[in-house]
Amino acid sequence: MQIEEGKWQILLSKSNEPQTQHFDAVIIANGHEFTQIEQTKPLHLTAVKGQVSHIPTTSALQKIQSVLCYDGYMTPYNPKTMTHCIGASYDRKNIDIDFDDIAQQENGDKLKACIPSVDWVNDVDTSDNKARQGIRTVSRDHLPFMGPVTDFASLDKSYSDALSKPEKLPNYTGLYCLLGLGSRGLSSAPLLAETLASQICGDPLPLPVDVLSNLHPSRAWVKRMNKSKPLSDS
């Protein structure tokens, strides 16, 4: 992806004949695959595999009417599938979507360990190995990345030239990202998407300025600059 005459040039390859199109604004929202794009590759995000387990309901488990949150979560049963969803695992080493029998067992064990004083927890059964795997991205402070994408090469150069506190970050024109939603993306994504659209369009913002600063994709670099640390250290 590159910028040409003030517009972003993107190669679309869904059809048999790939086409190049130009856009005034582009939002990178491709999860852990952000590293495949040159402009977002340097961002401080980590890919994490998660596996949720789908367990059969019982007469006791059907009495649960709300989502339980502990060292994980458990949903009320789905009347269409007669199952509950529990999980999820948190695996930084195996970034794949293969079934993990250890994670399957641990999902049930964690629930039983967190809620040991009730009888219904003994009905939790993961032995049928029904599960779903996915990969999410997380930041070090566990907050999402939302906002303009900074030109890391330009930032690194300005830092090297002792301009450690530039008045304005060297952001790419018209390039934004919505990444690092972690384990709670379903609940945070709608508000974040609305906020980002408002930023791009110049509309009133749903979130206060201090929250936007905490969500800025370059916040990790700014913190390192303020502490006089190298930008690219792990």
Question: Per residue in 41-50, pLDDT tens?
Answer: 999 999 999 9
Which pLDDT does position 208 carry in this prediction? 94
Question: pLDDT band at 203, cuts 50/70/90?
Answer: very high
Question: pLDDT band at 15, cuts 50/70/90?
Answer: low
The pTM of the full predicted model, rounded to 2 decimals, is 0.85
In tens, the pLDDT along 144-197 reads 999 999 999 888 887 765 444 445 789 999 999 999 998 778 889 999 999 999
One domain, residues 146 and 175? yes
Which pLDDT does position 29 carry in this prediction? 96
**62 forms bridges with which residues in the sheet?**
none
Which pLDDT does position 233 carry in this prediction? 64
Structure tokens at 21: 């199109």
Q: What is the DSSP letter of 77?
A: P
One domain, residues 134 and 145? no
Look at residue 104 and tell me whether its pLDDT is greater than 80. yes
Mean pLDDT in residue range 70-79: 93
147 in any annotated domain: yes
Q: Which of 96, 121, 138 is the last residue of a domain?
A: 138
- Which has the closest alpha carbon to 220: 88, 45, 68? 45
Mention every residue, 6+ apart, whose C-beta is less than 8 A from residue 158.
166, 170
Interatomic CA distance for residues 26 and 45, integer angstroms: 19
Average pLDDT of the chain is 90
Structural domain range at position 125: 47-138
Interatomic CA distance for residues 221 and 158, integer angstroms: 12
Local structure of 126: helix, strand or coil: coil
Look at residue 7 and tell me whether its pLDDT is greater than 50. yes
Query: For residue 43, how many other CB atoms are within 10 A of its CB?
Result: 23
232 in any annotated domain: no
One domain, residues 22 and 84? no
153 in any annotated domain: yes
233 in any annotated domain: no
